[in-house]
Structure 1
Amino acid sequence: MTLTLVQAWTHAKKTLEAAAISGPVIDARMLVEAAADATRSDIVTDPYRPLTAEQTATLEDYLARRVKREPVSHILGRKGFWKIMLQVNRDVLTPRPDTEVVVDEVLKQTSEHEAFSMVDLGVGSGAILLAVLAERPAAKGLGIDVSEEALAVARDNAAHLGLAGQVALLRGDWTAGLGDASFDIVVSNPPYIATDVLETLEPEVRDYEPRLALEGGADGLDAYRVLAPEILRVLKPTGFFAIEIGYDQKDAVEALFREAGASNVRTIRDLSDRDRVVTGSKNPLERMS
């Protein structure tokens, strides 16, 4: 049976709805577009265009994988974030709109042609670092991750975005080996899910995303306990940080940064009005340790 674009979309929506997939309309459209090499405009303006047998088979494969709760980003191998398109796979977190709050804060605190140094701790796919550098051509960035597989994804993304000249990517354990007062800006989206909460997550996250990038210990705060004093150590005087948190971790993470000596500590909410990013600065009068 030959499917047209509109029939394929209807079929895909019904298949995903029957499997109780969240957001079936958008997922169906994205999978049809990818399988049929079509655009959203094509579905509207040329709805009766037939799919080839190969395209139909590809769509059925995509739908079968999605029904098994494989994320669309993994099926297609890409995910849009901020204003860039990133390659993603099972070795990195799929970037989410919540994390764009970090990017937004860095861009608000800097100007377009400002030259500054920035480090992204736990760089993953490179989402935060590359989204910022794409809009700050005079800036330089360092991305650090303990996973060599994640760094390979970030390297590919930097190359495809034409940003390899602005970026260095290194394997490491957070700030180990970094000098004091080295960076103007520090960003991070560390693992912050409490261990006993991991099994309650949706299968798309629990079964397909790297646990190393998710699990934050018994209370979800293990990474912040390490990062708070170390971020203050590697920040230059007057430098600032922006760190993603879980929606219920504001008070605990703010306290850790204040105890480490941070100034102007506050929390920014995301578009869902949930606490999402703790930011602050290094007091220039603070004695260097």
Structure 2
Amino acid sequence: MVVNTKEMDTKNVYAGLVETYLVKNAFQEPKLEIKIIGEVLENKSNENRYEEVMKWLSEKRPIQYYAGYTYTFDKKIILDRNVMIPGPEMDIFINTAKKYMANCHNVMELCTGSGVIPVMLGMEYSDVDFYASDISDKALKVAQENINFYQLKNVHLLKGSMFEPFEEQNKIGFDMLISNPPYAKTGIIGDLIPQLKDNAPRISLDGGEDGLYFYRIILANAHKFLNKNGYIIFENGEDQSEELQELFIQNGFKVVEVVKDYIDIERFVVGRLGI
């Protein structure tokens, strides 16, 4: 029997990488991340890729940032360290939005990051226009790469803080507002897992003293941009749902649904204006 020693060496190295990853990283999506490790080892032309990946992982750095992409709904999403990596609950977020898309013609998103939400929705709802904003030029560059990758004509990017670019361009009359704003409490950012605190951009994490800073801004101003009966869909932190629901009510919205994530945390709130 002929033994392919090169193939065996590759498998041994790969097994070692996976073990290193499992032991040294508190990762969120093991199947996805191990899949990306395999793709990196198979496709990278760099002869030193094994050593590079081993070092990268041992430093608790997400493999997605090394590869330059991740997957959402099995669709490739381009990214780099200027944006957050879409988490395992992103598919729940997008599926929740889809439940309320029936009569939507214009959708706005704040804090778009990689653009994963409007890109995923834009592929499915080609007759809906999506307008997504971010304050970061570098994040918008990544989002534009994803729009270009899928050749989407119905997803549009705006540069600026929160509602500012919509106000400047007089864009109103939206049927839905989606946002996954920064929601980590400033004081606990240093306690987050290394994959977040040491790798993700701080601007995408820091939600102020109680983590609700950006929700207050959005809910106080959303009525200027939403149609009557328009929806808002938020992702929130694990201890924020009740306070966030109160903010909805205080600002003239009715809470129509609270959605849990995979570990039974109330992770998403859906509100509706003027009903």
Same-fold call, TM cutoff 0.5: yes
Whole-Å separation in 1 of the counterparts to 2:171 and 2:66: 42
Given the alignment of the two structures, is residue 34 of structure 1 paired with residue 45 of structure 2, yes or no? no
Match of 1:20 in 2: 24
CA deviation map 1:187-225 (0-9, x unaligned): 000000001110011111101101101001111111111
Whole-Å separation in 2 of the counterparts to 1:154 and 1:11: 34
Given the alignment of the two structures, is residue 171 of structure 1 paired with residue 159 of structure 2, yes or no? yes
Match of 1:44 in 2: none
Match of 1:48 in 2: none
Given the alignment of the two structures, is residue 97 of structure 1 paired with residue 85 of structure 2, yes or no? no
Contact 1:31 1:59 in 2 (8 A): no
Change (3 A) 1:16 1:268: closer
Letter in 1 for 2:67: L
Instruction: Give the unaligned 5+ runs of structure 2.
Output: none
Whole-Å separation in 2 of the counterparts to 1:29 and 1:16: 12
What is the Cα-based RMSD across aligned positions, in Å?
2.2
Shift of 1:97: 2.1
Change (3 A) 1:128 1:13: same
Shift of 1:241: 1.2
Normalising by the residue count of structure 1, what TM-score does the alignment of the two structures yield? Answer: 0.85
Letter in 2 for 1:196: G
Whole-Å separation in 1 of the counterparts to 2:270 and 2:74: 22
1:127-276 alignment runs, 5 A limit: 127-163=116-152, 165-176=153-164, 177-178=166-167, 179=170, 181-276=172-267
For residue 272 of structure 2, give the secondary structure of its aligned residue in structure 1.
strand
Whole-Å separation in 1 of the counterparts to 2:246 and 2:97: 22
Q: Quote the sequence identity (%).
A: 24
Normalising by the residue count of structure 2, what TM-score does the alignment of the two structures yield? Answer: 0.89
Letter in 1 for 2:11: V
* Match 1:7 to one of 8, 12, 25: 12
- Figure out how many residues of one structure are paired with residues of the other and give that number: 265
Match of 1:41 in 2: none
